[in-house]
Amino acid sequence: MIVRFHRKLLWIIFISTIFVFLIEAVGHLFQWGLVDEPAFSSLRYTLAAFLLLVHATWVFDLKRGLCFILIASLMGFLAEAISLQHFTLFGGRYVYHGYSLRLLGVPLAVPIFWAILIYLGYSLTTSFLYWLHKDKPSRNTGGAVVLPLLVLLDGLIVVSIDMLVDPLHVHEQLWSWLDEGSYYGVPIGNFLGWFLVATVSTGLFRILEYFWPRQKNTFDKWIHLMPNLCYGVFCFTLVSRALRIQMPELALIGFLAMGPVLIANLILFAYWRPVINRAKQ
């Protein structure tokens, strides 16, 4: 009963999240005032946070799902707190605007945002393994040499998202850089910081998975397609926001950064489906 409820809840939140982000993307393209309302923005990220929680605890289990979220959000929080209070890990000094709830200068919503993006990076990389019918590296199946490559791809995917997110949020004055950089005012070192936080987070979790592997999942592998669709819709939303504020070059850069991973993943998924169908016959 609990498993059935969990699965239904997952699909409800997934469909709701996709719907809201698509409404936002279309709203930016057609300049609907609704998508600029703070309540709409809160709804979209609240749904994304719930989707992270429900999907992670379904794909792993409750303890491992919460462990991943804790590692990613904690790494993001520590990096932000150090950068705001002591010395920057992101290539320059910056300040947040408009957040009322903070701890050590870090808005409480920011670590959750870190967890969402890091989970997207981890999930897309891992789905490549599933579509290729490969096991995750573990002490039982081997593959330790592949671990650094997976962690590297995790970090690159997260950085590809930030190439759109950071300039857009600076333009929307959610934060501003005191030390402006050459990439739409964002220091290049910022992306090195994002890469560091993402790879440390997924690296710790993948090491945990390597030494304490779970049994193979028996649930429908279509569940692994959800993060890919979320990544694609998020890309569409970010590109539409860039086009709305008349930053077509940023929209193109963001699409070129995020698009290849999505396209490659969907191509492999299209190959995986016929293989699965033939296996059932």
The string of pLDDT tens digits covering residues 252-261 is 999 999 999 9
* DSSP 8-class letter at 138: B
pLDDT exceeds cutoff 50 at 280: no
Where does the pLDDT of residue 140 fall: very low under 50, low under 70, confident under 90, or very high at 90 and above?
confident
Q: What's the longest Cα–Cα distance across the chain?
A: 62
% residues pLDDT > 70 (the chain): 93
% of the chain residues with pLDDT over 90: 62
The residues, any chain, with a CB within 8 Å of residue 246's CB and separated by 6 or more, are none
The pLDDT of residue 255 is: 94
pLDDT of residue 207: 95
- Coil, helix or strand at residue 173: coil
Per-residue model confidence as pLDDT tens digits over 188-237: 999 999 999 999 999 999 999 999 887 665 556 678 899 999 999 999 99
Burial class (CB in 10 A: 0-12, 13-18, 19+), 81: middle
Is residue 133 pLDDT above 60, yes or no? yes
Summarize the confidence of residues 156-172 as an average pLDDT. Answer: 94
**What's the average model confidence in pLDDT over 236-264?**
93
CB–CB of 203/218 below 8 Å? Answer: no
Q: Could you read off the pLDDT of 70-121 as tens digits, one per residue?
A: 999 999 999 999 999 999 999 999 999 888 889 999 999 999 999 999 999 9
* pLDDT in the model for residue 142: 82
The reported pLDDT for the residue numbered 180 is 86
Residue 57 exposure: Cα atoms within 13 Å on the Cβ side: 17
Among 141, 127, 192, CA closest to 166: 192
In sequence order, which residues have a C-beta less than 8 Å from that of residue 97 and are 6 or more positions away?
173, 174, 175, 176
Query: For the residues 132-151, what does the mean pLDDT come to?
Result: 89
The average pLDDT across 152-170 equals 95
Angle at 226 between CA 276 and CA 232, to 5 degrees: 115
Whole-angstrom Cα distance, residue 35 to residue 41? 7
CB atoms within 10 A of CB 212: 10
pLDDT exceeds cutoff 60 at 48: yes
| Residue pointed to by tokens 């809840």 | 9
The whole-number pLDDT of residue 211 equals: 92
